[in-house]
């Protein structure tokens, strides 16, 4: 083993127990539940492409020394399945007890974006508490759980009230990442494309897309923040259809960002996009 790797192993081994979450959206809730006696980290970087990511040597070391690994339960890519297999940590699924939606339609599999709904993240916080209580027997995580639950319940209430009176209740999606928001807050997602719209559309594809927009009386389109989409640009610039970016991957944009502040900003964007009172 290279000297730098040996140093990393020792650095991890002699500090607080390491609790890993597979992706950033679960980080802050896990920190709240666990409290200050544990070191909580995201396995992969916040801006990583969850579907195509490959684990680095540093992340393999983290998997070696971690006491607990929380995974989504809806495999985000081969790396998450691999992490669950090779880690020495206790592995827990955070989607336990959560109704999972299909990703557009059944053949595309389950939609992993349940973290976009504060309502479902309340169950995630309970799953974290229950898991930690099993690993650290005799340790009471009730206080941390209540802290997370109160913050998530407040966020859920804000979404319920903030999205209750909107001019538009139906929106188009160029990538079906908004299903949980729609389901839990009485909105309707119309999937216009099953995958990200990176490339150009053929004339027949464009005709089909415009027909779906007209048929469903879509006045606004939502896309994941940071995804370059020529289709979105075309619809916005040529057809004057408003397109809004929503941070569905919960990627920090500025210093001090966390799950809660990012979700508050998402609510602001949704209210603007859907013209809510």
154 and 18 fall within a common domain: yes
145 and 23 fall within a common domain: yes
Least confident of 163-167, 203-207, 263-267: 203-207
User: What is the SS3 string spanning 13-69?
Assistant: HCCCCEEEECCHHHHHHHHHHHCCCCEEEECCCCCCCCCCCCCCHHHHHHHHHCCEE
Which range marks the domain in which residue 191 is found?
Answer: 168-274
Q: Please, what sign has the CA dihedral across residues 20, 21, 24, 25?
A: negative
Which of 110, 129, 160 is the last residue before a domain boundary?
Answer: 160
37 and 125 fall within a common domain: yes
Q: Which pLDDT value is given to residue 52?
A: 84
- Contacts of residue 36, defined as CB under 8 A and 6 or more positions apart, other chains included, come to none
92 and 122 fall within a common domain: yes
95 and 213 fall within a common domain: no
192 and 95 fall within a common domain: no
End-to-end Cα, the chain, rounded Å: 60
Which of 121, 143, 160 is the last residue before a domain boundary?
Answer: 160
Output the domain CATH number for residue 43: 3.40.50.1980
pLDDT of 10 strictly over 80: no
149 and 32 fall within a common domain: yes
Q: How confident is the model at residue 109 (pLDDT cuts 50, 70, 90)?
A: confident
Q: Please, what sign has the CA dihedral across residues 190, 194, 199, 200?
A: negative
Q: Which two tokens stand for residue 275?
A: 């013209």
pTM of the model: 0.91
Least confident of 18-22, 179-183, 194-198: 194-198
Q: Which pLDDT value is given to residue 1?
A: 47
34 and 79 fall within a common domain: yes
Which of 112, 133, 160 is the last residue before a domain boundary?
Answer: 160
Least confident of 13-17, 141-145, 180-184, 190-194: 13-17
Q: Which pLDDT value is given to residue 226?
A: 84
182 and 224 fall within a common domain: yes
Single out the residue of 5, 87, 95 nearest to residue 43, CA to CA. 87
176 and 264 fall within a common domain: yes
27 and 156 fall within a common domain: yes
28 and 139 fall within a common domain: yes
Helical residues (DSSP H) of the chain, grouped into ranges = 3-13, 27-34, 57-65, 78-86, 118-135, 142-162, 179-184, 203-215, 230-237, 259-274
Stretch 30-59: mean pLDDT? 93
Do the Cβ atoms of 77 and 52 come closer than 8 Å? Answer: yes
Q: Provide the domain count of the chain.
A: 2
């Amino acid at each position: 083993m290279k000297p730098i790797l040996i140093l990393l192993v020792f650095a991890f081994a002699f500090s607080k127990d390491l609790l890993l979450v597979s992706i950033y959206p679960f980080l802050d809730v896990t920190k709240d539940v666990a409290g200050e006696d544990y070191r909580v980290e995201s396995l992969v970087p916040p801006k990583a492409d969850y579907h195509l990511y490959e684990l680095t040597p540093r992340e393999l070391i983290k998997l070696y020394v971690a006491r607990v690994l929380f995974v989504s339960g809806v495999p985000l890519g081969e790396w998450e399945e691999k992490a669950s297999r090779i880690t020495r940590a206790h592995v827990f699924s955070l989607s336990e007890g959560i109704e999972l939606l299909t990703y557009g339609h059944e053949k595309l599999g389950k939609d992993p974006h349940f973290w976009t709904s504060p309502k479902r993240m309340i169950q995630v916080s309970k799953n974290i508490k229950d898991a930690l209580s099993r690993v650290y027997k005799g340790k009471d995580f009730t206080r941390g759980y209540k802290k997370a639950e109160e913050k998530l319940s407040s966020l859920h209430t804000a979404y319920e009230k903030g999205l209750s009176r909107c001019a538009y209740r139906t929106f188009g999606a160029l990538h079906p990442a908004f299903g949980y928001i729609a389901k839990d807050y009485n909105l309707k997602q119309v999937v216009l494309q099953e995958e990200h719209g990176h490339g150009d559309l053929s004339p027949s594809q464009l005709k089909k897309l415009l027909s779906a927009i007209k048929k469903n009386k879509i006045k606004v389109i939502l896309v994941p923040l940071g995804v370059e989409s020529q289709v979105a640009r075309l619809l916005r610039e040529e057809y004057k259809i408003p397109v809004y970016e929503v941070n569905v991957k919960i990627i920090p944009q500025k210093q001090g960002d966390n799950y809660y502040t990012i979700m508050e900003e998402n609510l602001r964007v949704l209210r603007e996009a859907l013209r809510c009172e």
